[in-house]
Every structure is written in C-alpha cells, then in structure tokens.
Amino acid sequence: MNTTFATALGDRGRLVVPAELRAKQKWEQGTPLLLIETDGGVVLASQAQAKQLVRAQLAGRSLVDELIADRRAAAQQEEPS
C-alpha cells in the first residue's frame, strides 16, 4: 500500500490530492484532513486515520504503570543500602 503520489502546491497554498489517492483513501469532497508536522516531515491523514494512528501508538502502554515503575525505581535508589 506504500505508493508515492506527486502534486504541487498551487495558487494561494492550495494542494490538489490526486484522484487515485482520494479513491484509495475513500476521501470525498468535504472530508476533514489533518496535516501533522513531525520531525521526519508532514503526514496527511483524515481525522479518523489520525485517531487510529494515535491509538496504535499508545496501544499496550499504560502511562500510569510507567509512572509507578519510575517512582519505584527512584525510591529504591534513594533507600540506604
């Protein structure tokens, strides 16, 4: 599914998304799209796709469990031997 599509930035900053890509992504006129700036470049995704990306990145991670583990490790280092 990794395909490259070329387009050019047009008048007044407009960007035309190629029809083939719109069809593959099921983006219709009026579909809200997000431009997500990252260290590696810019990602274009629909709002639904962006939600899926975030959920996939956070899947299986418990920030609370990570915080508790960090605090326990810090407490063990502070205890005298």
DSSP code string of 40-76: TEEEEEEHHHHHHHHHHHHTT--HHHHHHHHHHHHHH
In a domain, 64, yes or no: yes
27/21 Cα distance (integer angstroms): 8
Q: In which domain, by residue range, is 70 found? A: 11-78
In a domain, 70, yes or no: yes
Average pLDDT over all residues of the chain: 90
pLDDT greater than 80 at residue 55: yes
Q: Which pLDDT band holds residue 81 (cuts at 50, 70, 90)?
A: low
In a domain, 4, yes or no: no
Q: Is 8 helix (H, G, I), strand (E, B) or coil?
A: coil
Kindly report the pTM of this predicted structure.
0.61
Q: How many domains does the chain divide into?
A: 1
In a domain, 6, yes or no: no
In a domain, 1, yes or no: no
In a domain, 66, yes or no: yes
Predicted confidence at residue 4, as pLDDT, reads 92
Q: How many other CB atoms are there within 10 angstroms of residue 17's CB atom? A: 14
DSSP conformation class of 14? -
